[in-house]
A and B are shown apart, each in its own frame.
Chain A
């Protein structure tokens, strides 16, 4: 199968609350997938489980042929380092070190030598070559998020998960970040999974998954912003909508 990450019957409960309810799906290689849904639909939980940042209550997550549930904390971390890059809404750059040091931090933690030409290429692609010596706080939000994307790509992961990567950005910066993510998929064959609540952002993806109440309710290939907006509005009116794919 050509899925980078496969989820089978994944359920995640936080006490009484069911965030994910028996979700099964696979993320295909080389695609830009957007995960959409209203607040509380479970989309963030979905990619945290898919990225092995969190463990499901039941069901299995398979990354690179390995069932995440069988691994301890350390082994899961190592698996993540090898296969997954993550981009956070709040960038998660460490303020104490320079931008350049932030880019290679994950590699350093993995004990790997950074692939300098690759990183240089990425840095030039996102236009940060003049800002490497600065502290993250000296960069704009868009620049910080682009740096975070370079960091996620530095180890050549199989897939990049991005959790609301444009959530804290202005329209222009958000657009640049989305362009960047799309170009990574189109030019470099990277797999990207992005959570967003913004239909316009999701419209830049190849496919859009729509979630509601912890379930996957729709898959829209080559979505347009209008389609997605309409779909979301519908969901908001009918919160009890059930039935998976």
Chain B
């Protein structure tokens, strides 16, 4: 049976199926690796290596019946837990840890020394403010930077920070550790600044193998520095810690591997981190536990979990890295969210291509299958035979496909790191699981499509089977045609949201519309091709060259054969144009609106300091020529963009009441000057002044806020703007990220006192950075998908063309010269390529036109419009190569 099956199939059809499965396997496995990494990967590098168990607040927001959403802002733990945990049997020590951004300036030009409070206290003593809100999740933002400076963990679903154009460059110091020299460092060539993290002295005990030379910092103006900072004991250093600039005396050098860090007296650290008062009083970022002798980390973790319940995350081993870096969960959410947005498209394409490949290899054998039926094979046997063929091709492709998939995932991971969407130290996790899942999925697709294609062939009465198989052209079914038209119609509806929704979500509509219409095209294709070429044939002048006439007739007569290729190529064109151009359109609209919103002439950022340090604002305002300066930052909030309660992480701008001087949101109600206390401004289509909103902030805290202003320009800063008071205590660093400056001022002068500043002439919106990295991801994924589609279409075309030997011989015998045959094949290629391009462009035209109207006020999308001719050219070249090279041999032999 198997031997018969393989002998019959002929190589051509199987090769097509093999490549389809190979590519599909690679795509699905690759996607699987990304998803699995989203579920299981953890950050490698750890600072608190000496802790057996870490206790932290959850960095994910859980909604019923949906995936957890990663929270990029640090959620904190009440410090009183330290006492509870110390009392737990099996715990040797329990130490609270806080993290905040620090920057060590190389020269100390003599500023005030930190006020000496003289008091030293353990973390246990940190503050007395009781944990006011019950849920641990309402924990208040704490400071943490460097590690994965919020920038590096922003993602498709949750961008965090990222403001000025220059920030992206300056913030690439992955560990916040590199000497960051701002664009204008030349103004003060001697001044250097080295970013790092700051902690309380007690947490040194949690660093394994830390060698301490010197004595612990006890006074408020004392500090211990890691050896990486390369300063001597006893010297005075100028430090900006959590935005506060002061001079400290180095009392100890701590020799530890890892990023540069500073340790302050515990009381000082708590003060700097804002734990001695305000919204985060009496909290720590995490609690590190060391097990008593005789207790294993696992047993200890279990005991802690029993004691604390589900409100806290208890980590051991490699999971401790996640607890240290609050952005990890957000990055993981992004890893899961990415494939779910593009996975739909790639699964569709894989199904398309694999199904097409299998059906092609079966259609090629219709005659043989019919003969088998005539020779006494039951329909079931015929289907079995077809299944064996498909499975053989698929099985052979599984292993190489899986290998390619792992390589693809690795490459994609590098791209994500490069785009700053994935922490560099968070490697993808590789296990056989994605390959196994992909294999099962693909074998399923192969089985189903083999079954579906062979059903009619296997069922027809044996005699008519032989007869029908002799005459290849068949009439496409009308049910198929109508459902195809229905889908195309539905896609038009889906394309309309940009007309009445403003904001990024509107893009989802056109994207889906393109997908749906592509499926519709595949279904309605044969009839449409028949109709179009029939019309063409009737309209052709009577005396067109015979080859052209034959080409048109063939395309019409073999509509089923040609429509498959046309639909696949049309799909390639549609996806290319609609996905790319809808993103560029939104980007253009966002840029234009951002330019209207931000009246800033320059933008100042301070990546090396972890945010805008205290005093910088005043320095900016004091510069001659500055008419206004406004500090802003970006955090993440969870909103329900579709109003259906399903939450999504979204970046949101943070502004103070002074914002109006530089920011013009197109306020339609209320005033930005009221952005005080628990206040927000919202898109005027989504609410009115006076409304009350409940929001989930970036650390998971649920807060209530009053709408004090509504505005119309929603693309630049997003649909919600938060007041600074509202987010205070709910962000990791607690610092603003950007100063927007109005007026022509000598900003370079700032770098003398503040080395390492980022100063840029123009500003980008926070949404822009997000859109462009999404664009790059889309481009990368599209590239891979298109490669797959094009290779498999070329394969199919080669296989169908190669099977046309007898037809070409027949035409030649009727008096066609070789030149005429070649011309006919070329006309056919041109016809298919143009029809596919036209169909593809038509499918993407409506969504793009509507998007253009909705976003740009004109009926065409933003460029690069050369994508359109480029896509057409690629399609033409692929078809021409597949046809011409294959047919050339046939014509010579005919």
> Which residues from chain A sit less than 8 Å from chain B, CB to CB?
53, 73-74, 77-78, 80-81, 86, 88, 92, 94-97, 101, 105-106, 108-111, 135-137, 151
Contact = CB atoms under 8 A, between A and B. Distances in A.
B471 interface: yes
Contacts of A86: 813-814
Contacts of B558: 96
Chain A facing B: main interface SS:
helix
B546 A109 contact: yes
Contact of B814 (A78, A95, A106, A136): A106
Contacts of B815: 77, 80-81, 106, 109-110
Most buried by A among B472, B546, B812: B546
A105 B814 contact: yes
B556 interface: yes
B819 A74 contact: yes
B556 A96 contact: yes
A135 to B, nearest CB: 7
25 contacts: A53-B813, A74-B819, A77-B812, A77-B816, A77-B818, A78-B817, A81-B815, A88-B813, A92-B810, A92-B814, A94-B807, A94-B811, A95-B471, A95-B473, A97-B550, A97-B557, A106-B814, A108-B546, A109-B814, A111-B545, A135-B473, A136-B471, A137-B470, A137-B471, A151-B814
Contacts of B773: none
A108 B549 contact: yes
Given A94-B807, A96-B557, A96-B558, A73 B813 contact: no
A231 B25 CA distance: 66
Contacts of B553: 94, 96-97, 101
B471 A94 contact: no
A92 B806 CA distance: 10
Given A53-B813, A101-B553, 18 more contacts: A74-B818, A74-B819, A77-B812, A77-B815, A77-B817, A88-B813, A94-B553, A94-B807, A95-B471, A96-B553, A96-B557, A105-B546, A105-B811, A109-B546, A109-B816, A136-B471, A137-B473, A151-B814
Contacts of A136: 471
A74 B557 contact: no
B820 interface: yes
B106 interface: no
B472 A95 contact: yes
Contacts, number: 65
Interface in B833-856: none
A5 B773 CA distance: 76
The winner among A86, A88, A108 for most chain B CB atoms within 10 A is A108
Contacts of A95: 471-473, 557
| Residue of B472, B558, B815 ringed by the most chain A CB atoms within 10 A | B815
A104 B777 CA distance: 56
Contacts of B546: 105, 108-109, 111
B42 to A, nearest CB: 61
Contacts of B820: 109
A241 B284 CA distance: 111
B648 interface: no
B818 A73 contact: yes
Interface string B2-31: 000000000000000000000000000000
Interface in B492-549: 545-546, 549
B584 interface: no
B312 to A, nearest CB: 72
A88 B812 CA distance: 13
Interface of B: 470-473, 545-546, 549-550, 553-554, 556-558, 807, 810-820
Contacts of B545: 111
Q: Which residue of A81, A94, A106 has the most chain B CB atoms within 10 A of its CB atom?
A: A94
A77 B811 CA distance: 11
Contact of A96 (B470, B473, B812, B814): B473
Given A96-B558, A109-B546, A111-B546, A74 B817 contact: yes
B473 A73 contact: no
Nearest to A151: B814
Nearest to B561: A96
B453 to A, nearest CB: 21
A142 B889 CA distance: 34
Contacts of A110: 815
Contacts of A74: 817-819
A74 B816 CA distance: 8
B804 to A, nearest CB: 11
Given A94-B807, A96-B553, A96-B557, A73 B471 contact: no
Contacts of A81: 815
A92 B816 CA distance: 13
A81 B811 CA distance: 12
Contacts of B814: 86, 92, 105-106, 109, 151
A20 to B, nearest CB: 19
B822 to A, nearest CB: 11
Contacts of B550: 97, 105
B825 to A, nearest CB: 14
Nearest to A48: B813
Contacts of A78: 817
Given A111-B546, A137-B473, A96 B554 contact: yes
Contacts of B816: 77, 109
A94 B814 CA distance: 10
A145 to B, nearest CB: 14
A35 to B, nearest CB: 18
Contacts of B556: 96
Nearest to B545: A111
Nearest to B809: A92
A81 B814 CA distance: 8
A88 B545 CA distance: 25
A233 to B, nearest CB: 32
A94 B810 contact: yes
A109 B817 CA distance: 8
Nearest to A51: B813
Contacts of B472: 95
Nearest to A88: B813
Nearest to B468: A137
Most buried by A among B556, B807, B814: B814
A102 to B, nearest CB: 9
Contacts of A101: 553
A20 B881 CA distance: 40
Nearest to A138: B471
Contacts of A94: 553, 557, 807, 810-811
Contacts of A97: 550, 553, 557
Contacts of B819: 74
B439 to A, nearest CB: 40
Contacts of A137: 470-471, 473
A75 to B, nearest CB: 9
Contacts of B470: 137
Contacts of A108: 546, 549
Nearest to B472: A95
Contacts of B549: 108
Contacts of B810: 92, 94
A151 B812 CA distance: 14
Nearest to B556: A96
Contacts of B471: 95, 135-137
A178 to B, nearest CB: 22
In the A-B complex, list the 9 residue pairs whose CB atoms are closest, starting with the nearest: A96-B557, A137-B471, A81-B815, A108-B546, A74-B817, A106-B815, A77-B817, A97-B553, A109-B815
Contacts of A151: 814
Of B470, B553, B556, the most chain A CB neighbours within 10 A belong to B553
Nearest to A86: B813
Nearest to A76: B817
A106 B819 CA distance: 15
Nearest to B542: A113
A97 B555 CA distance: 10
Contacts of B554: 96
A109 B554 CA distance: 15
Given A92-B810, A109-B546, A137-B471, A73 B557 contact: no
